[in-house]
Structure 1
Amino acid sequence: MSLSRLRSIRHAFPTVAVLGGLVGWVPAAVRAQQGTVAGRVTDEASGQPLSGARVTVVGTSLIVQTNAEGRYRLSPVPGGAVTVRASAVGFGAASHVLTVTSGETAVVDLALALSPYSLDEVVVTSTGDQAKKEVGNTIVRIEAPSVVEKGNIQTLTDLIGAHAPGVDVLTGTQTGSPSRVRIRGTNSLSLNNEPVYVVDGIRIISQNRSSSVCDVGCAPPSRVNDLAPDEIESIDVVKGPSASALYGTDAANGVIVITTKRGIPGRTRWTVYAEQGVITDNNTYPDAYRGWRSATDTTTAHNSRPTNGTQCILTQTVRAATDPQYCVQDSVTKYNLFDDPLASPNGTGHRQQYGLQVSGGSEAVRYFFSGEWEDEVGQLKMPPFAVDTLLHVRQISSVSDEQLHPNALRRTSVRANVQATLNPRVDVQASTNFISSTLRVPPTDNNTTGLLSNALGGPGNKDNGHYGYRLFTPDSMFAEEIGQDVNRFIGSGTANWRPTSWLAFRAVGGVDYTSRLDTDLCRRNQCVNFTATFADTAGFKQDNRTSFFQYTFDFHGTASFTLNPRLTSRTTVGVQYFKNNNNLNVAIANDLAPTATTLTAGGVAQVAESTTVSKTLGAFVEQQFGYKERLFVSAGLRADGNSAFGSDFKAVYYPKLSVSYVISDEPFFPKWRWINSVRLRGAVGASGVQPGATDAIRFFLPTTASVAGRDNNAIIFSALGNTGLKPERAREYEFGGDATLLDQRVNIELTYYNKRTKNALIARTLPPGAGGPVTRFENIGAVVNRGVEALGDLRLVDKPGFGWDLSVNAAYNTNFIADMGGVPPIIGATTRQQVGYPINGWWQRPYTFNDANHDGLITANEITVADSAVFVGYANPRWEVT
Structure 2
Amino acid sequence: MESTLIRTLSAGGVALLALLAVGTAPAEAQAGGTITGLVTNRATNQPVQSAQIFVAGTQRGALTNQQGRYILPNVPAGEYEVRATLLGFSQGSARVTVADGQTVQLDFQLSESAVALGAVIVTAVGTEQRTREIGNAVSNINVADLPQASVSTLTNVLQARAPGVMVAPASGSTGTASRIRIRGSNSVSLSNEPLVIVDGVRVSSVGGLSSGVGVGGQSPSRLDDITPDQIESIEVLKGPAAAALYGTAAANGVIQITTKRGRAGDARWSAFTEQGTWKDSYDYPGAFRSEPGRSGSGLGGSCVTYDIAMGNCRDASGNVLTQIPGVKSYNPLMDPRTRPFETARRQQYGLSVAGGSEAMTYYVMGDITDEKGVLPTNGLERYSTRVNLNLYPTEKLDFAIRTGYTASSLQMPGEGNNTTFGLWINALLGTGDFDVNRGFWTVNDQQMFAFEAWQDVNRFTTSVTGNYRLLPWLRMTATGGVDDVSRHDHTYLPPNVITNNANNREGTRRSNRVAERNLTGTLNTTANYDLTSAITSTTSVGGQYNQELYRDTRAYGQGMAPGTRSLAGASRLFS
**Range of TM-score over shorter length:** 0.7 to 0.9
- After superposition, where does 1:389-404 map in structure 2 within 5 Å? none
User: Which shifted more, 316-325 or 358-367?
Assistant: 316-325
> What is the aligned partner in structure 2 of residue 794 from structure 1?
none
Equivalent residues of 2:136, 2:239 under 8 A apart? no
Instruction: Describe the shift of the 1:252–1:321 C-alpha distance in structure 2 as closer, same or farther (beyond 3 A).
Output: closer
Amino acid at match of 2:546: F
Instruction: For 2:22 and 2:258, locate their aligned partners in 1 and report how far apart those are by CA, in whole Å.
Output: 35
> What is the aligned partner in structure 2 of residue 113 from structure 1?
111
Equivalent residues of 2:11, 2:544 under 8 A apart? no
> What is the aligned partner in structure 2 of residue 14 from structure 1?
14
Instruction: For 2:389 and 2:208, locate their aligned partners in 1 and report how far apart those are by CA, in whole Å.
Output: 32
Equivalent residues of 1:218, 1:443 under 8 A apart? no
1:804-852 CA distances to partner (integer Å, 9 max, x unpaired)? xxxxxxxxxxxxxxxxxxxxxxxxxxxxxxxxxxxxxxxxxxxxxxxxx
Equivalent residues of 1:122, 1:129 under 8 A apart? yes
How far residue 74 of structure 1 moved from its aligned partner, in angstroms, is 6.9
1:592-619 CA distances to partner (integer Å, 9 max, x unpaired)? 2121111122111111xxxxxxxxxxxx
Matched position secondary structure for 1:315: helix
Instruction: For 2:569 and 2:419, locate their aligned partners in 1 and report how far apart those are by CA, in whole Å.
Output: 26
Instruction: For 1:319 and 1:330, locate their aligned partners in 2 and report how far apart those are by CA, in whole Å.
Output: 15
Instruction: For 1:182 and 1:86, locate their aligned partners in 2 and report how far apart those are by CA, in whole Å.
Output: 35
What TM-score do the two structures reach when normalised by structure 1? 0.58
1:441-493 CA distances to partner (integer Å, 9 max, x unpaired)? 12122112111110111133434x12221121011112211111111101111
> What is the aligned partner in structure 2 of residue 313 from structure 1?
304
1:42 to 18, 39, 43: 39
> What is the aligned partner in structure 1 of residue 417 from structure 2?
446
Instruction: For 1:204 and 1:423, locate their aligned partners in 2 and report how far apart those are by CA, in whole Å.
Output: 31
Instruction: For 1:373 and 1:125, locate their aligned partners in 2 and report how far apart those are by CA, in whole Å.
Output: 32
1:480-509 CA distances to partner (integer Å, 9 max, x unpaired)? 111111111011111111121101111111
How far residue 560 of structure 1 moved from its aligned partner, in angstroms, is 0.6
1:65 aligns with 2:61: yes
Matched position secondary structure for 1:374: strand
1:773-796 CA distances to partner (integer Å, 9 max, x unpaired)? xxxxxxxxxxxxxxxxxxxxxxxx
1:45-104 CA distances to partner (integer Å, 9 max, x unpaired)? 5744554724336xxx4552024542224733436xx65433345542212355667875
Instruction: For 2:104 and 2:196, locate their aligned partners in 1 and report how far apart those are by CA, in whole Å.
Output: 42
Instruction: For 2:200 and 2:97, locate their aligned partners in 1 and report how far apart those are by CA, in whole Å.
Output: 36
How far residue 557 of structure 1 moved from its aligned partner, in angstroms, is 0.9
Instruction: Describe the shift of the 1:594–1:332 C-alpha distance in structure 2 as closer, same or farther (beyond 3 A).
Output: closer
Instruction: For 1:499 and 1:376, locate their aligned partners in 2 and report how far apart those are by CA, in whole Å.
Output: 50
> What is the aligned partner in structure 1 of residue 521 from structure 2?
553
> What is the aligned partner in structure 1 of residue 442 from structure 2?
471
Tell me the matched-pair count: 550
- After superposition, where does 1:859-878 map in structure 2 within 5 Å? none
1:689-747 CA distances to partner (integer Å, 9 max, x unpaired)? xxxxxxxxxxxxxxxxxxxxxxxxxxxxxxxxxxxxxxxxxxxxxxxxxxxxxxxxxxx
How far residue 218 of structure 1 moved from its aligned partner, in angstroms, is 5.2
> What is the aligned partner in structure 1 of residue 162 from structure 2?
164
- After superposition, where does 1:824-843 map in structure 2 within 5 Å? none
Instruction: For 1:321 and 1:53, locate their aligned partners in 2 and report how far apart those are by CA, in whole Å.
Output: 79
Instruction: Describe the shift of the 1:451–1:276 C-alpha distance in structure 2 as closer, same or farther (beyond 3 A).
Output: same
1:488 aligns with 2:484: no
Instruction: For 1:87 and 1:268, locate their aligned partners in 2 and report how far apart those are by CA, in whole Å.
Output: 23
Where does the alignment leave 5 or more consecutive residues of structure 2 unmatched?
1-7
- After superposition, where does 1:194-205 map in structure 2 within 5 Å? 194-205=193-204
User: Which shifted more, 495-504 or 138-147?
Assistant: 138-147
Moved segments of 4+, more than 6 Å: 29-32, 99-103
Amino acid at match of 1:317: I
Equivalent residues of 1:238, 1:244 under 8 A apart? no
Instruction: Describe the shift of the 1:248–1:31 C-alpha distance in structure 2 as closer, same or farther (beyond 3 A).
Output: farther
Instruction: For 2:520 and 2:231, locate their aligned partners in 1 and report how far apart those are by CA, in whole Å.
Output: 20
1:541 aligns with 2:538: no
Equivalent residues of 1:63, 1:74 under 8 A apart? no
Equivalent residues of 2:48, 2:64 under 8 A apart? yes
User: Which shifted more, 264-273 or 45-54?
Assistant: 45-54
> What is the aligned partner in structure 1 of residue 560 from structure 2?
592
> What is the aligned partner in structure 1 of residue 535 from structure 2?
567
1:419 aligns with 2:414: no
Instruction: For 2:294 and 2:117, locate their aligned partners in 1 and report how far apart those are by CA, in whole Å.
Output: 79
Instruction: For 1:87 and 1:157, locate their aligned partners in 2 and report how far apart those are by CA, in whole Å.
Output: 28
Instruction: For 2:254 and 2:116, locate their aligned partners in 1 and report how far apart those are by CA, in whole Å.
Output: 23
User: Which shifted more, 133-142 or 283-292?
Assistant: 283-292
1:208 aligns with 2:207: yes
2:361 to 362, 366, 379: 366
Matched position secondary structure for 1:66: strand
> What is the aligned partner in structure 1 of residue 235 from structure 2?
236
Instruction: For 1:422 and 1:507, locate their aligned partners in 2 and report how far apart those are by CA, in whole Å.
Output: 16
Amino acid at match of 2:196: Y
> What is the aligned partner in structure 1 of residue 274 from structure 2?
275
- After superposition, where does 1:647-686 map in structure 2 within 5 Å? none
Equivalent residues of 1:562, 1:569 under 8 A apart? yes
Instruction: For 1:194 and 1:356, locate their aligned partners in 2 and report how far apart those are by CA, in whole Å.
Output: 32
Matched position secondary structure for 2:219: coil
Amino acid at match of 1:528: T
Instruction: For 2:466 and 2:328, locate their aligned partners in 1 and report how far apart those are by CA, in whole Å.
Output: 71
> What is the aligned partner in structure 2 of residue 76 from structure 1?
76
Instruction: Describe the shift of the 1:46–1:504 C-alpha distance in structure 2 as closer, same or farther (beyond 3 A).
Output: same
> What is the aligned partner in structure 2 of residue 433 from structure 1?
404
1:500-538 CA distances to partner (integer Å, 9 max, x unpaired)? 1101111111111111111111122233334xxx43211
Matched position secondary structure for 2:146: helix
> What is the aligned partner in structure 1 of residue 348 from structure 2?
353
Amino acid at match of 2:118: D
Instruction: Describe the shift of the 1:375–1:104 C-alpha distance in structure 2 as closer, same or farther (beyond 3 A).
Output: closer
Equivalent residues of 2:205, 2:221 under 8 A apart? yes
Instruction: For 2:500 and 2:187, locate their aligned partners in 1 and report how far apart those are by CA, in whole Å.
Output: 38
1:88-142 CA distances to partner (integer Å, 9 max, x unpaired)? 4554221235566787543211233344544522123223321122123332111
1:154 to 145, 152, 158: 152
Instruction: Describe the shift of the 1:120–1:542 C-alpha distance in structure 2 as closer, same or farther (beyond 3 A).
Output: same
How far residue 567 of structure 1 moved from its aligned partner, in angstroms, is 2.1
> What is the aligned partner in structure 2 of residue 642 from structure 1?
none
1:462 aligns with 2:434: yes
Instruction: For 1:410 and 1:525, locate their aligned partners in 2 and report how far apart those are by CA, in whole Å.
Output: 30
Instruction: For 1:522 and 1:552, locate their aligned partners in 2 and report how far apart those are by CA, in whole Å.
Output: 40
Matched position secondary structure for 1:263: coil
Where does the alignment leave 5 or more consecutive residues of structure 1 unmatched?
294-299, 303-308, 381-404, 608-882
Instruction: Describe the shift of the 1:260–1:462 C-alpha distance in structure 2 as closer, same or farther (beyond 3 A).
Output: same
> What is the aligned partner in structure 2 of residue 134 from structure 1?
133
Matched position secondary structure for 1:406: coil
- Give percent identity, aligned residues only: 37
Equivalent residues of 1:238, 1:255 under 8 A apart? yes
Matched position secondary structure for 1:193: coil
- After superposition, where does 1:848-867 map in structure 2 within 5 Å? none
1:375 aligns with 2:367: no
Instruction: For 2:356 and 2:97, locate their aligned partners in 1 and report how far apart those are by CA, in whole Å.
Output: 33
Matched position secondary structure for 1:536: helix
Instruction: Describe the shift of the 1:259–1:27 C-alpha distance in structure 2 as closer, same or farther (beyond 3 A).
Output: farther
Instruction: For 2:286 and 2:119, locate their aligned partners in 1 and report how far apart those are by CA, in whole Å.
Output: 53
What TM-score do the two structures reach when normalised by structure 2? 0.88
How far residue 331 of structure 1 moved from its aligned partner, in angstroms, is 4.3
Instruction: Describe the shift of the 1:181–1:98 C-alpha distance in structure 2 as closer, same or farther (beyond 3 A).
Output: closer
Matched position secondary structure for 1:422: coil
Equivalent residues of 2:82, 2:95 under 8 A apart? yes
2:496 to 508, 512, 525: 525
Matched position secondary structure for 1:318: helix
Amino acid at match of 2:37: R
Equivalent residues of 1:37, 1:77 under 8 A apart? no
Equivalent residues of 1:552, 1:577 under 8 A apart? yes
Instruction: For 2:51 and 2:544, locate their aligned partners in 1 and report how far apart those are by CA, in whole Å.
Output: 29
1:85 aligns with 2:83: yes
How far residue 224 of structure 1 moved from its aligned partner, in angstroms, is 0.6
Instruction: Describe the shift of the 1:72–1:100 C-alpha distance in structure 2 as closer, same or farther (beyond 3 A).
Output: closer
Matched position secondary structure for 2:144: helix
Instruction: Describe the shift of the 1:215–1:48 C-alpha distance in structure 2 as closer, same or farther (beyond 3 A).
Output: farther
> What is the aligned partner in structure 2 of residue 335 from structure 1?
330
